[in-house]
Amino acid sequence: MSGELSGLASPTGADAHSALSIQFARDFDATRLQHLRERFAAQESALEDLKRRYLRMRLAPAERLEVRRRVAEGILFAATEEPWLVFRRYLRRLDRLGYSKPHILVMTAMLTSRRVPGSLGARKEANRLFRKARMALGDPSLPPEYKRAWMDDLEKASRLMEGSL
């Protein structure tokens, strides 16, 4: 994980931002895989370190937001087995930043719905996220197959949640 553009041509302008986005995606995936089996605190720390490295670079505002979003998503997914209060803190962070793609919102709603048996607060959050995800999947610019697949998963998770508690 270099965090630098070494090995790439010296792109300029939009090409530089594309190369940087690709490098961030590679570094993000490598960081998650490297720390996958570690405790939550180690995963969180590694992702926060990655975020700090990239935010020190000259990034456009949209790229800075995307780095923050992707790291928040990674930390939330790492927090799935943590107590509700920990999970909720990272859920709120991601909610403030926004979701990088509609399917990330769907997966977040599904993860939150799995927390319902142990928390009434989780039920409220999951229902809110289900509504938000349905609205996001209603975007007419999304491919129909994508919408159908993720909507099916969302509805299954919603039905499973309603059968709990």
Report pLDDT for 4.
36
Contacts of 102 (CB under 8 A, 6+ apart): 133, 136, 137, 139, 142, 146, 150
The alpha carbon torsion through 92, 97, 98, 100 (nearest 10 deg) reads -120
pLDDT averaged over every residue in the chain: 87
DSSP 105-139: HHHHHHHHHTTGGG-HHHHHHHHHHHHHHHHHHT-
Report pLDDT for 48.
98
DSSP 133-156: HHHHHT-TTS-HHHHHHHHHHHHH
Residue 39's pLDDT band (cuts 50, 70, 90): very high
Residue 59's pLDDT band (cuts 50, 70, 90): confident
Q: Could you report the per-residue pLDDT of 79-90, keeping only the tens digit for each?
A: 999 999 999 999
Contacts of 23 (CB under 8 A, 6+ apart): 2, 3, 4, 5, 8
Burial bucket for residue 2 (CB in 10 Å: 0-12, 13-18, 19+)? exposed
pLDDT of residue 62 exceeding 50, the answer is yes
Predicted structure pTM score: 0.83
Report pLDDT for 164.
56
Contacts of 68 (CB under 8 A, 6+ apart): 51, 55, 97
Q: Could you report the per-residue pLDDT of 91-125, keeping only the tens digit for each?
A: 999 999 999 999 999 999 999 999 888 787 899 99
pLDDT of residue 5 exceeding 70, the answer is no
Residue 72's pLDDT band (cuts 50, 70, 90): very high
Q: Which amino acid is at 55?
A: L
Q: Could you report the per-residue pLDDT of 138-164, keeping only the tens digit for each?
A: 999 999 999 999 999 999 999 998 885
Structure tokens at 27: 């570094």
Structure tokens at 56: 């020190």
Domain map (residue ranges) of the chain? 10-83, 101-165
